[in-house]
Amino acid sequence: MLQQTTSSAKRLKAGKMLEYAIFAVTFVVFLIAAVIYLYPGSSKPSSIPGLDPTTEEDGNVSDIARAGSLHEFLLDLHKQFGSIASFWMGQKFVVSIHSPELFKQHQNVFDRPPELFKLFEPFIGTASIQYANGKDGRNRRNHYDKPLSHESLKQYYNDFQEVANELEKKWSTLVKEEHIPLSQYMSAFALKIVLRALFGQSFKDDKEVLEFRRNYDICWSEMERNLTEPAEPGSQRQKVFEEAYSVIKNIMENIIKHRKENPPKENEDKLLVDVILETVTSESQKFDDCITFAVGGLHTTGNALTWCFYFLATHPEVQDKVYKEIKKELGNNDVDFKNINDLRFDPDRFSPENVKSRPAMAFQPFGFAGKRICPGYRFAYAEATVCLVTLLRKFKVNMVEGQVVNPVHGLVTHPEDEIWITIEKR
């Protein structure tokens, strides 16, 4: 227990600046993570308040669709029933918890109901780590966590910096009035980083990155839409999905093939892709885990960075504080393994007093169940910090006037439309 507290205190320190950003994006993920506890069976334990299924087959799934998303459904559910409440996901009885105290009690749980992410199965595949529980799940996580450990992280800073420098160079060529599509840039950044650092692949040019991203967006919005408006098998929508998916599949297969043909030399570190290839035996499982990690790394961090720049652009006084902090702590040095912890920028939400007045597990953007926590959390903090520092020390970020920015609660909160910004050189 003590150890847990110490390590989370350390994490807190390393990520102050980012917590602010991540808070914005992960509100949803945080709630989804809360629905971890599933009690299979047909009769519900009478002590847990909650809903009876609307229909025997779908449970409350139609109600989730009506609420707009699982996030909005859960907000209503907990408002109605308090911090522990039940509902039916199809024929599975699900208990959702919604308080730091309850998170703490469930820290040792590993298994997660596969039904929760069923919606994404057409993309990440049935054999994905996302659905693996019990011995198999723990075994795969034990292996996959190694290339993402605290120690392994050191090797990625160069990759992070190179990709951030490319982006900085690109932005330097833009004129002051030019409107910049923020989320496109940020997801391209996150995608390039993941594929380079974890899969050993650098795209030759941005065309391929954009192609990946465009088709990925088609697949993802189709799967989210499928919850509220299910597509008929064989329909035009289904065809569009399948075409987009085959583009992604093809790119991923080539990346894996390339790595198989160019494995690490004896003195080189194993990348995540190498570990996946040697850990699991089935070809489909290899592919599904690769695509799961690519998605896990692209979607989340891309959106976290998007929201981060958005909030900094709409709060210029906070952006100034960040800039001063970077100058003071780093001067002109790049972020690296050693100095990342010196960035202690505290937006007021994360000031020491405010942190102290909150329960320890009030903010769990990467999940709260120790062994099942997001395997990429250190990686995400580090790459995002490098991106923020590299761009914010060179540019002041402003909003293009007159935009209405609406958050959409999918699996990860994203803006309804593109967010447009302009930049000024510092």
63 interface partner picked from ligand HEM, ligand NAG, none, CB below 5 to 8 A per type: ligand NAG
Bridge pairing between strands 413-415 and 407-409: antiparallel
Min dist. Cβ of residue 232 to ligand NAG (A): 8
| 85 to 124: interface string for ligand NAG, x by CB under 6 A | -------------------------------------x--
- What does DSSP assign to residue 148? G
Site for ligand NAG in 273-302 (CB under 6 A): none
Q: Which residue has the tokens 């697949």?
A: 219
Rounded Cα distance, 320 and 326, in Å: 10
96 interface partner picked from ligand HEM, ligand NAG, none, CB below 5 to 8 A per type: none
Tell me which amino acid residue 157 is. Answer: Y
Rounded Cα distance, 155 and 331, in Å: 23
Rounded Cα distance, 138 and 286, in Å: 16
The nearer residue to ligand NAG, 247 or 361, going by C-beta atoms, is: 247
Rounded Cα distance, 9 and 245, in Å: 41
Contact 103, 64 (CB under 8 A): no
422 interface partner picked from ligand HEM, ligand NAG, none, CB below 5 to 8 A per type: none
The nearer residue to ligand HEM, 53 or 164, going by C-beta atoms, is: 164
Instruction: Please report whether residue 233 would count as binding ligand NAG according to CB under 6 A.
Output: yes
The nearer residue to ligand NAG, 224 or 334, going by C-beta atoms, is: 224
Contact 304, 22 (CB under 8 A): yes
State the number of binding residues for ligand NAG (CB under 6 A): 16
Retrieve residue 162's tokens: 């190179």
The angle subtended at Cα 111 by Cα 49 and Cα 150, nearest 5°, is 125
Residue of the chain from 48, 75, 109, 231 that contacts ligand NAG (CB under 6 A) = 231
Min dist. Cβ of residue 172 to ligand HEM (A): 26
Instruction: Please report whether residue 75 would count as binding ligand NAG according to CB under 6 A.
Output: no
The nearer residue to ligand HEM, 154 or 396, going by C-beta atoms, is: 154
130 interface partner picked from ligand HEM, ligand NAG, none, CB below 5 to 8 A per type: ligand HEM
Burial of 282 (0-12, 13-18, 19+ CB in 10 A): exposed
Tell me which amino acid residue 172 is. Answer: S
Applying CB under 6 A, the residues found at the interface with ligand NAG are 51-54, 60, 63, 76, 122, 222-223, 226, 230-231, 233, 238, 241
